[in-house]
Amino acid sequence: KETALKFHKDFQGKIALHCKVPVNNKEDMTLAYTPGVAEPCMEINKDYDKVYDYTSKGNWVAVVTNGTAVLGLGDIGAAAGLPVMEGKSVLFKAFAGVDAFPICLDTKDSKKIIETVKLME
């Protein structure tokens, strides 16, 4: 028990976002953000499928829960389910190279959950 708690506390979670592109100078920043970012935005606006060429979208999944059926823990709530969702995200990355984002929704209303997931882009 103590080892598991220390592991999670020391790392403050199991996943992190990192940059795939260099951001070492002003030119890098203007390409990664504004004004350079406008170019892929305009291409995607013309052709939705370009989103897979110009962004990481093709390698993303959401690991969604409301915390009502977490492993063998049952209904522990959205916040308490986050460590499990982070763990699942680790498995996606470690074994499949997929970037998984844990999303914990604080609602038991299934219609709201479905609507929220459908709206994710």
Per-position DSSP letters for 39-100, written without gaps between them:
HHHHHHHH-GGGHHHHSSGGGEEEEEE-SSSBTTTBS--HHHHHHHHHHHHHHHHHHH--EE
48 labelled catalytic: no
- Which among 6, 9, 46, 88 is annotated as catalytic? 88
Q: Hunting for tokens 């403050």 — which residue is that?
A: 12
50 labelled catalytic: no
- Which among 6, 33, 52, 54 is annotated as catalytic? 33
Q: Which residues are catalytic?
A: 33, 88
